[in-house]
Amino acid sequence: MGKRALITGITGQDGAYLAKLLLDKGYEVYGTYRRLSTPNFWRLEYLNIFDKVNLIPIDLSDHGSIVEALKISEPDEVYHLAAQSFVEASFETPVATGDITGLSTTRILEAIRQVCPEAKFYNAATSEMFGKTGLLNGGKPLNENDVFRPMSPYAAAKLYSYWISRIYREGYKIFAVNGILFNHESPLRGLEFVTRKIANEVAKIKLGLSKELRLGNLDAKRDWGYAPEYVESMWLMLQQEEPDDYVIATGEAHSVKEFVEKAFEIAGLNWEDYLRVDKRFMRPLDVPCLVGDFSKAEHMLGWRPRVKFDKLVEIMVKEEINRWSRWLRGEKFPWDAPNYPSENKIFTRALRM
């Protein structure tokens, strides 16, 4: 029989790609989602897996709902991806971010300890935990032994989730790993993150649907990789004999400005005609530079990035131009007509009564 996996946050970018990867590997996939006033399954529809995954409603602030999700899914592997993941928003809602992005990891680990202690656990840690170290070490690629100096409520919450995962690993012998993933992007990225925001606006400008692109800090440098490749590393981490923590990155840093220039170049436009700096998108603190050293992952997992910066920008801009062109021709998209999954794909606690 195939393995069973539970993915928290299956409606997000990584959750959707990971679900597809695991289905392709023969897993029975369960995913958690939260009830919203408008259903949010467009990424699963986009990847044609909407009716192939089993869905369980939970909220990360509700411990009981997490326990039920584990009892329903009986997982061999748990991938904990759900979080308030937007750094900018964490400055607006620091307490909620601490609860959802930080404390919820303890809720999940505690539920695993009680319900299925043999399950393997992946925690979505982040390069943001390094924060100022990325600057203080002069831009040298960061590895698993570098010091964490978080610069946002989001990063502080993730650092808590990183440590609580290690504590459950060492204290309760739970197979818990931390994937310290650097930024990874795709056409399924949330619209507010800088890469998709740029790609989307550039495409709209190209097609006469928008006139300008408004951004904040153009000097920040990030190590941007391709999300479908990064979810492979999550799976690889849970296939090892021993649990450990791994940096996943491309080893290259590029500035937001470079991303803008490349995106406009791909669209055949001059960026200086359209770019405006807007204070609204500046953060109280912003990590100046992050670049990662993936050599441990390469050595231990056999993982290395294939899509690098130029190709990534091209994939994203071309896909947005394609989407908006089709929209102009009157085509409908999953996000135009929000859908509910077929009833036999939703699992609630009532089914266990």
Catalytic residues, by residue number, are 126, 128, 154
Q: Hey, what amino acid is at 267? A: A
Question: Which residues, 273 to 332, sit near ligand F7E by CB under 6 A?
Answer: 281, 283, 286
In DSSP terms, 313 is beta-bridged to none
Per-residue x/- marks for ligand NAP, 128-167, CB under 6 A? ----------------------------------------
54 or 84: whose CB is closer to ligand NAP? 84
Is there binding between residue 109 and ligand NAP (CB under 6 A)?
A: no
> Are the C-beta atoms of residues 148 and 160 closer than 8 Å to each other?
no
Q: Which one of ligand F7E, ligand NAP, none interacts with residue 11, CB within 5 to 8 A by kind?
A: ligand NAP
Helix or strand run (H / E) with residue 247 = strand 245-248
Is there binding between residue 110 and ligand F7E (CB under 6 A)?
A: no
Q: Which residues of 215-242 are buried (b: 16+ CB within 10 A; e: fewer)?
A: bbbeebbbbbbbbbbbbebbbbbbeeee
> Are the C-beta atoms of residues 254 and 312 closer than 8 Å to each other?
no
Q: Which one of ligand F7E, ligand NAP, none interacts with residue 314, CB within 5 to 8 A by kind?
A: none
Looking at 32, 54, 97, 126, which residue binds ligand F7E (CB under 6 A)?
126
Is there binding between residue 256 and ligand F7E (CB under 6 A)?
A: yes
The neighbour count for residue 254, using CB atoms within 10 Å, is: 20
Helix or strand run (H / E) with residue 222 = strand 221-222
Q: Which one of ligand F7E, ligand NAP, none interacts with residue 88, CB within 5 to 8 A by kind?
A: ligand F7E
268 or 284: whose CB is closer to ligand F7E? 284
Q: Nearest 5°: CA angle at 348, between 345 and 353?
A: 125
CA distance 116 to 109: 10
Looking at 8, 32, 85, 250, which residue binds ligand F7E (CB under 6 A)?
85
Q: How far is the CB of 191 from ligand F7E (least distance, A)?
A: 9
Q: How far is the CB of 24 from ligand NAP (least distance, A)?
A: 18
Looking at 54, 126, 133, 200, which residue binds ligand NAP (CB under 6 A)?
126
Looking at 178, 183, 200, 250, which residue binds ligand F7E (CB under 6 A)?
183
Which one, of 200, 218, 217, lies nearest residue 209 by Cα? 200
Q: How far is the CB of 16 from ligand NAP (least distance, A)?
A: 8
φ, ψ for residue 29, nearest 5 deg: -105, 125
Looking at 14, 128, 146, 320, which residue binds ligand F7E (CB under 6 A)?
128
Cα–Cα separations (whole angstroms), residue 17 to 203, 279, 351 = 23, 33, 28
- What single-letter DSSP state applies at residue 101? I
Tell me how many helices (H) and strands (E) the chain has: 13, 13
115 or 218: whose CB is closer to ligand F7E? 218
Is there binding between residue 84 and ligand F7E (CB under 6 A)?
A: no
Looking at 84, 152, 178, 233, which residue binds ligand NAP (CB under 6 A)?
84
- Within the chain, residue ranges assigned H as helices are 13-24, 42-46, 63-73, 87-92, 94-97, 104-115, 133-136, 153-172, 194-206, 227-238, 256-267, 295-301, 309-328
Is there binding between residue 9 and ligand NAP (CB under 6 A)?
A: yes
* Residues forming the site for ligand F7E (CB under 6 A): 85, 87-88, 126-128, 182-183, 192-194, 197, 215-217, 220, 222, 256, 281, 283, 286
* Residues forming the site for ligand NAP (CB under 6 A): 9, 11-15, 34, 36, 40, 58-61, 81-85, 100, 124, 126, 181, 183-184, 190
